[in-house]
């Protein structure tokens, strides 16, 4: 698979087959992704591969916290505190597109809650990847991490696997760190759901639009 093909094929997959991901595939993905660039070769990434009973325990704790009304607080500010156009419009359109695809009505709050709760199960993918960083690292390492995460997702495409990058998996850092034994002051950035796509699932049938390059590019000769 060409890089150009993987970039277009990659999408946020929200329904997975109940099929284990082979250990050798996970290792090939991580071995390739580790070549992502980082400032002065700091390589700030720390990866937790969560499966089986540990995943069941962790996702149950996060989902119970969510359904119990506990508001998740990430280790860093992911989204703006005040939304403005065009980002506010794109965010709204993204949510509406998914709910329209799933035929979840605006007034059907329970189905909306149930759909959001699936985030904390990594959409029932067999593998939940979680990403940590030491607290001494600064903003540049977030840029490095983005390149590492994209490398993982592109390699997953090559391996015939689907992914979904998830900020939601970073919303209950205390639960995650206590369950997995990470230091309290470590930074939990996000997670990625990893598995085999359930291709017939309705939730996997839509694709969010992308801006034309003319809308975000300026040329200077």
* HSE-up of residue 12 (Cα within 13 Å, Cβ side): 15
Q: 93-142 pLDDT, tens per residue?
A: 999 999 889 898 888 999 999 999 999 999 999 999 999 999 999 999 99
Residue 1 pLDDT: 87
Whole-angstrom distance, CA of residue 127 vs CA of residue 56: 11
- What value does the CA radius of gyration of the chain take, rounded to a whole number of Å? 18
Residue 106 pLDDT: 86
Domain 3-16+52-131+138-206 has CATH 3.65.10.10: no
Q: 139-181 pLDDT, tens per residue?
A: 999 999 999 999 999 999 999 999 999 999 999 999 999 999 9
SS3 57: helix
Whether the full predicted model's pTM is greater than 0.85, yes or no, is yes
Whole-angstrom distance, CA of residue 97 vs CA of residue 35: 35
Angle at 117 between CA 190 and CA 100, to 5 degrees: 105
Tokens describing residue 26: 């996970």
* HSE-up of residue 139 (Cα within 13 Å, Cβ side): 2
Per the CB < 8 A criterion, the answer to whether 130 and 69 are in contact is: no
Q: 14-70 pLDDT, tens per residue?
A: 999 999 999 999 999 999 999 999 999 999 999 999 999 999 999 999 999 999 999
């Amino acid at each position: 698979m060409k890089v150009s093909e993987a970039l277009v094929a990659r999408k946020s997959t929200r329904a997975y087959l109940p099929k284990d991901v082979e250990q050798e595939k996970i290792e090939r993905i991580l071995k390739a992704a580790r070549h992502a660039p980082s400032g002065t070769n700091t390589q700030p990434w720390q990866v937790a591969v969560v499966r089986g009973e540990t995943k069941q325990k962790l996702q149950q704790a996060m989902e119970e916290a969510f359904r119990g009304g506990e508001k998740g607080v990430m280790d860093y500010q992911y989204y703006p505190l005040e939304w403005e156009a065009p980002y506010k419009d794109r965010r709204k359109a993204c949510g509406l597109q998914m709910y329209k695809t799933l035929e979840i009505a605006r007034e059907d709050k329970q189905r909306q809650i149930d759909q959001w709760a699936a985030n904390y199960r990594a959409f029932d993918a067999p593998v939940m990847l979680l990403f940590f960083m030491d607290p001494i690292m600064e903003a540049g390492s977030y840029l490095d991490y983005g390149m590492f995460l994209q490398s993982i997702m592109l390699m997953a495409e090559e391996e015939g696997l689907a992914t979904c990058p998830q900020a939601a998996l970073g919303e209950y850092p205390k639960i995650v760190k206590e369950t997995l034994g990470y230091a309290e002051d470590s930074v939990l950035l996000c997670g990625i759901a990893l598995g085999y796509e359930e291709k017939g699932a309705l939730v996997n049938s839509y694709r969010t639009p992308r801006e034309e390059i003319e809308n975000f590019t300026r040329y200077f000769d």
